[in-house]
Amino acid sequence: MSEQMTLTPRQRQDLRTIAAMIIPASEEYRVPAADDDIIQADILATLGRDTRLVAAALDHLARLAGMPLAELAPDARDGVAQQFRKHGGVPAATLVRVVMQCYYRDDRVLRSLGLELRAPFPKGHVLPDGDWSLLDPVKARAGTLRRAP
């Protein structure tokens, strides 16, 4: 089994920088930017199979900038980001998806959107542990065998 890849400290700093560019903070809606510590921790904890593509995207950003993106002057970052957006391909799309996915599952963001912080079912109706009676109609049906494709 191969060791799971992780981002380098430079890549983590660039991830934080580009995340804040993708989704900046909003005072109006009282939500943090995507570089927020909690959101960044979620991104790093859940990268999983996307780690290689995100690392490739961050390396591409650094090459376009000629240095780590976080070290580039803020006014020069937009031009690099535009180039990256045009030519970043799948790694760029993966990076944006990962940032947005973690951002939009943050409780503060969900609250600002007027969404509840719990699953929509059972809408407050608590089911006792081990109560599988909801499955009785399914269990009562005859088994169905189907040919696999």
User: Which pLDDT band holds residue 142 (cuts at 50, 70, 90)?
Assistant: confident
By CB atoms closer than 10 A (0-12, 13-18, 19+), residue 81 is: buried
Q: What does the block give as tokens for 121?
A: 């079912």
**pLDDT at 107 > cutoff 80:** yes
pLDDT, position 118: 72
3-state helix, strand, coil in the chain (%, to 5): 60, 0, 40
pLDDT, position 11: 97
pLDDT, position 1: 38
Please answer whether residues 18 and 61 qualify as being in contact, where contact means their C-beta atoms are separated by less than 8 angstroms: yes
pLDDT in tens, 18-46: 999 999 999 999 999 999 999 999 999 99
Please answer whether residues 58 and 11 qualify as being in contact, where contact means their C-beta atoms are separated by less than 8 angstroms: yes
